[in-house]
Homo-oligomer: A and B are copies of this chain.
Amino acid sequence: MKITFKPSGIEYELNEALTLLETAERAGVLIDGSCAGKGTCGKCKVRILQGKMGQLTDAEETALTDWEKEEGYRLACCIKPESDLVILVPGIHGGSTRKKDMTILPDDFVIEKTVVKTALQIKKASLEYQKSDADRILEALREKDKSFAALKVEFHKSLLQKIPEILKEKDENITLVIRNGVALDAEPGDTQEACYGIAFDIGTTTVVGMLWDLDKGKIAEVAARTNPQSVFGSDVISRIHYSNASADHVKDMQEKISSCFNDILTEFEEKANIKRNQVYEVTVVGNTTMSHLFLGINPASLARAPFAPVFCKAVNVLAEELEIDVNPNANVHLLPNIAGHVGSDIVAVLMASRLKEKAGCNLAIDIGTNGEILFAKDGRIVACSTAAGPAFEGAAIYQGMRAAAGAIERVTIAEGCVQLSVIDNEEPVGICGSGLIDAIAQMLDNGILDKKGRIISAEAARKADISENLIERLYNDNEGGGFILYKREDGENIVLTQKDIREVQLAKGAIFAGIKIMMCELGVKPEELDSVILAGAFGNYIKKESALRIGLFPKVAPENVISIGNAAGAGACMALLSDKERRQAALFAEETEHIELASHPDFQMEFLKAMYFMK
C-alpha cells in the first residue's frame, strides 16, 4: 500500500499493519498529537482525500465534529490503512519564529574569544629543524600568539590523523582551531574568518537554533523546527512514558533531537552559506526531560515522586558522540539543570534576565509547555515549576493552537463588538495563548464571565444590559456552552468553551499559587514586588493588561511587566560566547533553591484561591 501525504507530497510504501500516525512517523511526516497515540487528545486529525477507510472508532466518534466526519477527517492514531491513501495533514506552523522572538543579550554581556582560529605559516622540517609536525605547528602558534607561550595545547587524535594530508599543501599555510587547550582541527590556508557556534534551545514544542559568527561576535541566523518528539506526545509526561517503555524508545528520542539539530544545520548551510564542519562549539538548553532525552538518558524518574533527575550538572560531550554533524571534535555543552522540572532553560533565563543582580524583589516567569517561576530577593533565588503551560500553547483548549498562521492572537471586545487580530491575517482556525488571555480578560471586563469563571447565561446577560450582539455569541451545549469568537461560513465557528476557561483557571491558578508560595518562602509581601519578567515567545505577545486582569501574576504596574524574549535561547547564546557565563550558570544551578509545589502543604489551598478572577 502506498500512502501519500499532502501537502508535502511525501510517499511511503507500507507492508505492515501500522496506524496512520506510526506510518507518518516512519515517513518523516510530522502529525501533531498530545496523547502519544492513545486516541484521547483528538489532535492528530487528518483528512482522507483519496482511498477508503473503515468505520469510525469510538474515539473518533467522540473527538470529531459532525462537519469533520462529513469532510472525511479521521484520527491518525486510530486507523490503519487498508488501501492506497492520499491524506491531507493539517498545517502545523510550529516553529515559525515571529520577528519579536529575538534573542536579546543583557547590556553588560561581554563576548569572550572561546574558540581561537589562527592562521599560521609552518616552517618545513629539515635535518637541522627535525621537529614533529605537531611541534612545528605549536611553535608557529606560540610565535604568532604570545598568549599560548605557556599554555599546554593537546592535539586531538583525529587532527593528528589529518595533519600529513594538510601539510602536503605547497605553501604550508594552515589555520589551527583551538578550544580550551585542545587543537581540534586544522584547515589548509587562512580560514580565520569562518568560525561558527550554535546555541540550541530544545523546547518541548519547538527547537530553536541560533547560529553565531564567532569571528565577528554576531548572530548570523536563527532557525526553528517543531520538536520531532511531538509525535510521541505534546507534553513531557507523555514523552517520558513513551521513553520508559523501552531502551530503543530512549534512543529514538535522542536521535530525533540530533536529526532535528542536523536539519537546522542544513538550513544554516544554505541561508548563511557556512560549512557545517566550521561549527566548532555548541551549547544546549532545555527543560530537564529534554536534557535527559538529548543525552539518551531515561527520564522515567521525572514522572514520579520525588521527581529526582538522573543528573543536574552541566555535561560536555563531543558532537560526534551525539551524531550532531558539526565539526566532529566540537564540544557540546549542555547547561546544568536545577531540579526535575526546572531545567537548564530556566538557568538560561536566570542568566539572560540578570534577575539575581536586580535590586528589590523580582519575579521571572517562563511559560512554555510548562510554567517555571523564578523569584529573587537580595541575591537569594527560589525556583518552582507548575504544570501550567500547555493551556497557553493551545493544548487542552478546544480550538487551541500554537501561535501560527490563522491563530487568533488578540481579542478586543468593546461596544458589543468583538475585534480579532489573526496571525498572517488569515481566516481564523483557532486561538493561541495570547488570544486566549485577551479573550478571557475582555469577557471579564464586559461582564460575560464572572469572577468564578462561569460564562453568564443569556438571561442573566440581558438582565445585566449586555449588548445583544454579544448575547448572540453565547451558546449552550451539554458541556457547559461557550462564547463564539468568530463565525465561519462553513458553520465551524471559533469558540471559547466553558471547559476552555476552566483549563485556563487551572493553569493560571497553579502559576499564581506557585508565586504566592515563593513569596511566602522569601518573606515578600505582594506590594513589595518590583517587577515581573516574562520570558519566552509567549511573554512577547501577551498583552500585559490582560495577563494582569486574569491574575496570571500579582499586581504590579503594567510598565513593570517586562518581556525579555527568548531568554532561554539568550542564555544558551551567552554560554556559547563566554566561559565566565558558563561558570556563572553552574553557580546559579547550585545555589537556586527549588520548591517542590506538589508536596508543599499550602499549595492546594493557594491553588483553589488563585483560580478566581479577582479584579
* Residues of chain A whose beta carbon lies under 8 Å from any beta carbon of chain B: 125-127, 129-136, 154-155, 157, 160-161, 163-165, 295-298, 300-301, 305-313, 315-317, 321, 337, 339-340, 594, 596, 598-599
A161-B295, A164-B297 known; A311-B132 Cβ under 8 A = yes
CA distance A151 to B136 in the complex (A): 35
Tell me if A135 and B300 are in contact (CB < 8 A).
no
A306-B126, A308-B125, A599-B127 known; A133-B163 Cβ under 8 A = no
Q: Which residues of B contact A316 (CB under 8 A)?
A: 154
A160-B297, A296-B161 known; A312-B155 Cβ under 8 A = no
CA distance A132 to B126 in the complex (A): 56
A133-B301, A301-B133 known; A160-B127 Cβ under 8 A = no
Q: A313 — nearest CB in chain B belongs to which residue? A: B134
CA distance A125 to B300 in the complex (A): 14
Contacting A309 at CB < 8 Å: which of B133, B161, B305? B133
Q: Which residues of B contact A313 (CB under 8 A)?
A: 132, 134-135, 154-155
CA distance A90 to B126 in the complex (A): 44
A384 to chain B minimum Cβ distance, whole angstroms, is: 12
Selected A-B contacts with CB under 8 Å, 13 pairs: A127-B596, A127-B599, A129-B306, A130-B307, A131-B312, A135-B311, A135-B313, A154-B316, A155-B315, A157-B295, A157-B296, A157-B315, A161-B298
Q: A590 — nearest CB in chain B belongs to which residue? A: B135
Q: Which residues of B contact A317 (CB under 8 A)?
A: 157
CA distance A578 to B315 in the complex (A): 28
Closest A-B pairs by Cβ, 5 of them: A125-B308, A134-B311, A132-B312, A127-B599, A132-B309
Tell me if B310 and A163 are in contact (CB < 8 A).
yes
Tell me if B157 and A310 are in contact (CB < 8 A).
no
CA distance A131 to B307 in the complex (A): 9
CA distance A300 to B155 in the complex (A): 19
Q: Which residues of B contact A127 (CB under 8 A)?
A: 305-306, 596, 598-599
Additional 19 contacts, C-beta under 8 A, given A130-B340, A135-B311, A160-B311: A127-B598, A127-B599, A129-B306, A130-B306, A133-B301, A133-B308, A133-B311, A134-B311, A134-B313, A154-B315, A154-B316, A157-B296, A157-B321, A160-B297, A160-B310, A161-B295, A161-B297, A161-B298, A164-B310
Q: Which residues of B contact A131 (CB under 8 A)?
A: 308, 312
A132 to chain B minimum Cβ distance, whole angstroms, is: 4
A604 to chain B minimum Cβ distance, whole angstroms, is: 15
Tell me if B132 and A308 are in contact (CB < 8 A).
yes
CA distance A127 to B340 in the complex (A): 11
Q: Which residues of B contact A126 (CB under 8 A)?
A: 306
A77 to chain B minimum Cβ distance, whole angstroms, is: 28
A590 to chain B minimum Cβ distance, whole angstroms, is: 10
Q: A134 — nearest CB in chain B belongs to which residue? A: B311
A154 to chain B minimum Cβ distance, whole angstroms, is: 8
Q: A244 — nearest CB in chain B belongs to which residue? A: B164
Tell me if B340 and A134 are in contact (CB < 8 A).
no
Q: A600 — nearest CB in chain B belongs to which residue? A: B127
A127-B596, A308-B132 known; A164-B315 Cβ under 8 A = no
CA distance A296 to B163 in the complex (A): 12
CA distance A337 to B337 in the complex (A): 43
Q: Which residues of B contact A298 (CB under 8 A)?
A: 161, 164-165
Q: Which residues of B contact A164 (CB under 8 A)?
A: 297-298, 300-301, 310
CA distance A169 to B157 in the complex (A): 38
Tell me if B125 and A306 are in contact (CB < 8 A).
yes
A178 to chain B minimum Cβ distance, whole angstroms, is: 15
A153 to chain B minimum Cβ distance, whole angstroms, is: 9
Tell me if B130 and A160 are in contact (CB < 8 A).
no
A74 to chain B minimum Cβ distance, whole angstroms, is: 37
Q: A317 — nearest CB in chain B belongs to which residue? A: B157
CA distance A135 to B314 in the complex (A): 12
Q: Which residues of B contact A301 (CB under 8 A)?
A: 125, 133, 164
